[in-house]
Amino acid sequence: PESKRHQFWETQPVGQYRDKENADLPDGSIEPATPPSEVKQEPYNLPSSYEWCTCDVNSEDAMAEIYALLTNNYVEDDDNMFRFDYSVDFLRWALRPPGYFPNWHIGVRAKTSKKLVAFITGVPARIRVKESVINMAEINFLCVHKKLRSKRLAPVLIKEVTRRVHLENLWHAAYTAGVVLPTPVATCQYWHRSLNPKKLIDVGFSRLGARNTMSRTIRLYRLPRETVTPGFRAMERRDVAKVTALLRGYLAQFSVAPVFTEADVEYWLLPLENVVNSYVVENPESREVTDFASFYTLPSTVIGNEQYSVLKAAYSYYNVSGATPIAQLMNDVLIMAKRCDYDVFNALDIMHNEDFLKELKFGPGDGHLHYYLYNYRMKEALKPAELGLVLL
Ligand SMILES: CCCCCCCCCCCCCC(=O)CSCCNC(=O)CCNC(=O)[C@H](O)C(C)(C)COP(=O)(O)OP(=O)(O)OC[C@H]1O[C@@H](n2cnc3c(N)ncnc32)[C@H](O)[C@@H]1OP(=O)(O)O
Ligand SMILES: CN(C)Cc1n[nH]c2ccc(-c3ccc(F)cc3OCCn3ccnc3)cc12
C-alpha cells in the first residue's frame, strides 16, 4: 500500500512511509506543542449545508441520535454481515470517564433537516509509551452517514477534534482502526471463541467444519455451569485499591499501556450491567486479590438475517493472571459469559492473550486491528504482545 496516496494523512504528524529512509529520526513526538494562543480558535469549515454541533451525552435525545447514527452507519466486518451495535449505556460509559471534555463529543448536522450525519469523539487518557507517560486523547466513534461517504468529510472531523484537543494543551492521541493508515505502531489479530455454536453457524459467523456434525460442534464448545477457581467472584467497589495495585504492576511490562488511578479503575472496571463485567480471584486464606479479568459487551447487528437480528458478543478487556494459570482464569470468564447468554467471546492477540487463545478453542478472525499514535514516531512497530492498551 506504500504507493497508495494519503492526501490527508501525508499532511499529519504521524509516522510516514517516506520516513523509512530516514532511520536516524528519533522515536518520540513529531511536532512541538503550540502556544494555546496560536491554536486555531474557530472551527474548521464544513460544506455549506452542514453545521457543527456538540452532542450532550447527558441528554437522552442526543444519545438516541448518536445511537441511531452508529447502529446504522458504523463499523461493519469485511463481508458486511455484521455491524457494531454499541448500546446507549455503553456509549455513555465510553464517553464520560473522569476528566472528560463535553466539547470533544463532536457531531455534524444537516442545516435543513438538523439530522445528525457524522460524529467523532475524544476522551482524555494517561498512556505510557515506553518510558514516557503522556496525557493524550483517545479518539473513537468516527462515523459518516453512508449517504455522505467519500466526500472528504472524515479529514475535517479529524482536524476539528485535533483542534479541540490542542485547545486543552494536549498534543498526542491514540486510536485503532481496521484499515491500514500511515503508520500502525502495532497490528493485532482478533480471535473468536464460540459460546453458542449453533447460532453462530445459523447467522453465517462460523461454518460447520467438513468432518464435524452440528452435535459434535456443540459438544466441542460446551462449558460447565460452575467456575473452578476458588475465590473467583464478581469485582466489588471494596476491591478497587487492590485491583489498581495489581493492574498497575501488571501493565508496567508492556510498551504501550494506560496508567490507571483508583478513580480510573473504579470508572472503567467496576461491573456495569450490559456494559462491563469484571472478576477478581480473592485467596480465601490470605484475602489477597491475586488475579483479575474483565470483558465488555458489544453486540453486533446481524445484517439481513430473518432468524436473528443481533449477535451478543463479549470482548476481552483487561486481565491479570497472578496466582491462577491464565487459561484457567479465562476459562472461568468464558463460563460466566456463557451463563450470561453471550454467543461469542472475542479477544485480540495483545498482552498475554496468546497464552490462552488456542488452548481455550479460540479461532482466528478474518481481519486485523491496527493501533496508531498521533504525533509520536515509533521506528520499530511493536509486537501485539507488547501492547497493554484496549480501546473500545
Ligand atoms: C493531538 C490530538 C489528535 C486527535 C486526532 C488523532 C487522529 C484520529 C484519526 C481518526 C481515528 C478514528 C478511530 C475510530 O473511530 C475507530 S475506526 C472506525 C472508523 N469508523 C468506521 O469505520 C465507520 C464506518 N465508516 C465511516 O463512517 C467512514 O467510512 C469513515 C468516517 C471512517 C471515513 O469516511 P469516508 O467518507 O469513507 O472517507 P472520506 O471522508 O472521503 O475521507 C477519506 C480519508 O479518511 C481516511 N480514513 C478512512 N477511514 C479512516 C479511519 N478509520 N481513521 C482515520 N482515517 C480514516 C482515509 O484514509 C482518507 O484519508 P487519506 O486520503 O489521507 O488516505
Ligand atoms: C476497537 N474500536 C475502535 C472499534 C473498531 N473499529 N474498527 C474495528 C475493527 C475490528 C474490531 C475488532 C476488535 C476486536 C475483535 F475481537 C473483533 C473486531 O472486529 C471483528 C470484525 N467486525 C468488525 C465489525 N463487526 C465485526 C474493532 C473495531
pLDDT of residue 22: 75
Closest C-alpha to ligand 1, atom 49: 179
User: 256: closest CA among 121, 99, 94, 390?
Assistant: 390
pLDDT in tens, 136-146: 999 999 999 99
- What spacing in Å lies between the alpha carbon of 259 and ligand 1's midpoint? 27
User: 270: closest CA among 312, 245, 241?
Assistant: 241
**Cα distance between residue 94 and residue 68, in whole Å:** 16
SS3 of 317, please? coil
Contact between residue 46 and residue 108 where contact means Cβ atoms under 8 Å apart: yes
pLDDT of residue 225: 98
Q: Confidence band (pLDDT; 50, 70, 90) for 218?
A: very high
Contact between residue 342 and residue 315 where contact means Cβ atoms under 8 Å apart: no
- What spacing in Å lies between the alpha carbon of 157 and ligand 1's midpoint? 9
pLDDT of residue 3: 58
Strands 256-258 and 173-177, how do they pair?
unpaired
SS3 of 29, please? strand
> What angle separates helix 240-251 from helix 262-269, to the nearest 10 degrees?
100
| ipTM of model over 0.90 | yes
17 lines ligand 1 (CB under 6 A): no
Q: What is the mean pLDDT of residues 349-361?
A: 98
391 lines ligand 1 (CB under 6 A): no
Q: Which atom of ligand 1 is nearest to the CA of 154?
A: 40
Which residue of 176, 315, 372 sits with most ligand 2 atoms within 8 Å of its CB, as the best mutation to test the pocket? Answer: 176
Residue ranges lining ligand 2, Cβ < 6 Å: 75-77, 82, 84, 140, 176-178, 190, 300, 315, 346, 348, 365, 367, 369, 391-392
**Cα distance between residue 378 and residue 113, in whole Å:** 44
Q: Any residues with CB less than 8 A from the CB of 369 and at least 6 apart, and which?
A: 176, 177, 178, 187, 188, 189, 190, 348
pLDDT in tens, 279-301: 999 999 999 999 999 999 999 99
pLDDT in tens, 111-131: 999 999 999 999 999 999 999
Catalytic residues: 392
pLDDT higher than 90, residue 17 = no
72 lines ligand 1 (CB under 6 A): no
Element (H, E) at 161: helix 153-166
- What spacing in Å lies between the alpha carbon of 142 and ligand 1's midpoint? 6
Which residue of 296, 300, 312, 369 sits with most ligand 2 atoms within 8 Å of its CB, as the best mutation to test the pocket? Answer: 369
Element (H, E) at 39: none
Q: Which atom of ligand 2 is nearest to the CA of 83?
A: 25
Q: Confidence band (pLDDT; 50, 70, 90) for 25?
A: confident
pLDDT higher than 70, residue 1 = no
Q: Which ligand is closest in space to the CA of residue 189?
A: 2
141 lines ligand 1 (CB under 6 A): yes
75 lines ligand 1 (CB under 6 A): yes
Q: Which ligand is closest in space to the CA of residue 175?
A: 1
88 lines ligand 1 (CB under 6 A): no
pLDDT of residue 36: 84
Q: Which atom of ligand 2 is nearest to the CA of 300?
A: 25
Mean pLDDT of the chain: 96
Strands 344-348 and 313-316, how do they pair?
parallel
Residue carrying the nine cell digits 498534543: 171
DSSP assignment of 215-248, as one string?
HHHHHHT---SS--STTEEE--GGGHHHHHHHHH
Q: Confidence band (pLDDT; 50, 70, 90) for 2?
A: low
pLDDT in tens, 306-347: 999 999 999 999 999 999 999 999 999 999 999 999 999 999
Comparison of pLDDT for 36 and 9, the residue scoring more: 9
Comparison of pLDDT for 264 and 211, the residue scoring more: 264
In this structure, what is the dihedral angle of CA atoms 163, 372, 105, 146, given to the nearest 10 degrees?
A: 110
- What spacing in Å lies between the alpha carbon of 137 and ligand 2's midpoint? 20
Q: Which ligand is closest in space to the CA of residue 34?
A: 1
User: 125: closest CA among 386, 373, 378?
Assistant: 373
pLDDT higher than 80, residue 375 = yes
Element (H, E) at 171: none
